[in-house]
Amino acid sequence: MGIGTLSIALLPSYATAGLWGAFGLLIARILQGFGMGGEFLGASLFLMEHQPDRPCLASSWISAAAALGMVVGALVAYLCSRCAAVEWIWRLPFLVGALGCWVSFKLRVWVQDTLPAANRQPRVALFRSVALLWKHYRFGFLKVMVLSGFTGVLVYTFNVYFLVFLRQQAGLSLSLATWLTTLSQLAVCFGILIFGRLVDKHPIRFYRAGLGITLLVSPLIFYLSSTGQFSLILFSLALYVSSNALTSACVFKLAFDVFPIHLRYLGMATAWSLSAAIFSGTAPLLATWLSAYTDYWGQAIYVQLMTLLALCFVSVENNKRPIQ
């Protein structure tokens, strides 16, 4: 993660290096993706193992940090765009981010492991571990992929793409639309921490409640925001905040319970990251494509389909069917 971030800060521009600069950016982003895929789920797993009596509260800090990161990123991009030296000032946040990766690495080395040496499972070869995951925990692997896909589609549709929607359909200025989506994500950050303190006793019930809210309000969010009335836009963003915060406070606990301890890290990180690459990154692109043919109903239906899929997988485990 740190190498990829530092590489972006030092890359030559397209004007200087042409396609080689663009290719270097692609490689750096791939490195960032590999790094985040390993550490994001690992951090949530680490916190839940440290606090087994309050796993949702512990893992909610990771979800809240991700939401806060989107807020900070939006603010930094806004400040850089207002700077006179915009040609080079954008490199500074990546240099700071690379330094943060180094500090995080040092902290991770110093932190004590969550399991005593006597309780650790012997190491298993990577390919054998993947084979075990698919053979014995296929349903669980797919479940974590669906949970990740739903989370990514929800966030990237109602935060990243929604900025474009507010400009085109609601007629808001770029500045106002940016501030609204940024503040809504900040509200998600605090909402996750609040719900994280409340959902530990019944995480599956609360997660299903969050899915039900999302299923009902997704078309309403688009419809109310398309009117262009400021009060209705705020109300629609509040609906998004509630559904995102409630589901994000529970999701890592549900993924945590899928795999046995010796396959948990690999299973969670692989399934989540694979799904994120498929669904999260493509959600804004797909929403933009759907808007050209279906107004806003296509985007709402896509979110609802992912919600229904997640609801099916969670309900199957509630019925205590064995994981195949």
Residue 48 contacts residue 55 (beta carbons within 8 Å): yes
List all residues 6 or more positions away from 82 whose beta carbon is below 8 Å from its beta carbon.
Answer: none
- Which range, 1-15, 48-62, 259-273, has the best average confidence (pLDDT)? 48-62
For the chain, the first-to-last Cα distance in angstroms comes to 34
Average pLDDT in the 143-158 region? 93
DSSP-assigned letters across all residues of 2-38: HHHHHHHHHPPPHHHHTHHHHHHHHHHHHHHHHHHHH
Q: Using alpha carbons, select from 172, 150, 152 the residue that is nearest to residue 163.
A: 172
Model pTM score: 0.84
Label residue 320 left, alpha or beta by phi (over 0 means left) and psi (-120 to 50 means alpha).
left
CATH architecture of the domain formed by 2-318: Up-down Bundle (1.20)
| Predicted confidence (pLDDT) at residue 79 exceeds the cutoff of 50 | yes
Check: CB of residue 206 under 8 Å from CB of residue 60. no
DSSP state of 119: G
Q: What is the mean pLDDT of the chain?
A: 85
Q: What is the pLDDT of residues 228-242, one digit of tens each?
A: 999 999 999 999 999
